[in-house]
Amino acid sequence: MPSPYRVIFASPGTKAFSAAGFIGRLPLSMMGIGVVTMVSQLTGRYGLAGALSATIALSAAVIGPQVSRLVDRHGQRRVLRPATLVTLVAATGLLLSASMSLPDWTLFAFSALIGFTPSIGSMTRARWAVLYRDTPQLHTAYSLESVIDEACFIFGPIISIGLSTVWFPEAGPLLAAVFLAVGVFWLTSLRATEPVPQSREHHTKGSAMRSPGLQVLVATFVGTGAIFGAVDVVTVAYADEEGHKALASVVLALYAAGSCLAGVLFGLVRFTGDPSRRWLLGVCAMGVSMIPLQLVGNLPVLAVALFVAGLAIAPTMITTMALVEQHVPRAKLTEGMTWVSTGLAVGIALGSSASGWVIDARGAEAGYVVPGISGAVVVIVGFLGYRRLKQPAPQRGGALGDGEREERRVA
């Protein structure tokens, strides 16, 4: 019996857009930490470095869904290339401003424009949805995308920090910009698998966020992002207090590795029944997995606890994207997926800030109360919003017809 992953790559063009999506997605985990490393090395001002990273994240949260909305209307090629050019110009300006010690306001201005970076994960997921909508293969494809996300977050920061510290301070953000350019221009050159822009009659007025189901998913992912942001910051501080700061990257890599493993295995299983139940179970598992972090006594125990906690991440994220596909009109699918990523980014910023405050006031070990509380909030929101996810989805017009979809597959 062939592997489900081998089956999804049988369609022409899937390997190419998946590879392009991986390269184009690396900057998501490289740019922010690369800017922190660069600015802290050039100026020694960690406060400025953190503020610039937060500016990039928040600008992406504001601009990203608007870029994706334009993609749904006009197509990936017509929108992604100009948006990427804006990002590349902004990144170049940021690097030059930092290296030339220009006024701080120039750094913030260019950081804000980096928010035009497209959500590449949403773009590749939209391509999979066109190919395999309403088939079991879509579950496998979304599982693969989740694994790619985690792989980016494992290797991206290591590459970015390593280059900036070993080569020259600007190397990490510079390579992130190169990856973005290569990934986007390669992806948008693959026209055969690009989703066809929906005609105007298929575009309902307003944002995809008008969907009650999407509102629940985004709210939950704000809490999920707070878990991620807090765990990252507190783990680094905890390892530092233990005298092994360098091991923080290893511990966090195990956290992501647990999610990777779960994502691969989850993609091999064929599920039936209501996906909202699996989603609620995953949300509860994420919340409960934060409880053992309150009891860690050393780094080895912490590493095991985070690996186990990571097992709940990918299955929940995979099911979330499947629910987005169900609850958002097809003409707004890319925008809907980007809103989920936006909620995650906002949560990461909130979790990072809150955990930093707790660490300064009470110490690193006490900082794990932040992901603990965030996990509890995620569970509460999940239970309160569960009924919305079980309500009938909105009219999801604008799909490709069976004949057109088959024509696209063989194009």
We find that the CATH architecture of domain 14-197 is Up-down Bundle (1.20)
Instruction: For residue 267, give the nearest of 151, 153, 150, 147 by alpha carbon.
Output: 147
Distance in angstroms (rounded) separating the CA atoms of residues 251 and 408: 44
Q: Measure the CA–CA gap between 120 and 79, rounded to whole angstroms.
A: 12
Q: What is the pLDDT of residues 265-280, one digit of tens each?
A: 887 777 777 788 888 9
Q: pLDDT tens digits for 136-151? A: 888 788 888 878 877 7
pLDDT in tens, 227-242: 987 887 788 778 877 8
pLDDT at 109: 93
Half-sphere exposure of 404 (CA within 13 A, CB side): 8
Q: Provide the CA 18 distance to its chain's centre, in angstroms.
A: 16
CA distance 248 to 235: 6
CA distances from 67 to 86, 110, 394 (A): 12, 18, 23
Give the pLDDT confidence of 82-112 residue by residue, as tens digits: 999 999 999 999 999 988 888 889 999 998 9
Q: Tell me how far CA of residue 192 lies from CA of 40, 130, 241, 348, 361, in angstroms.
A: 44, 11, 53, 35, 55
Per-residue pLDDT, 409: 36
For residues 250 and 223, the model is more confident at: 223
Chain segment 315-332, per-residue pLDDT in tens:
888 888 878 877 777 777
pLDDT in tens, 173-188: 899 999 999 999 999 9
Whole-number percent of the chain with pLDDT over 70: 90
CATH class of 209-394: mainly alpha
Determine the pLDDT at residue 140: 84
CA 200 to CA 57: how far, in whole Å?
31
Residue 154 has pLDDT above 90, yes or no: no
Q: Give the residue-averaged pLDDT of 127-139.
A: 83
What integer pLDDT is reported at residue 395 of this predicted model? 52
Domain boundaries, the chain: 14-197, 209-394
Confidence (pLDDT) at 206:
60
The structure tokens listed for 248 are: 């923080």
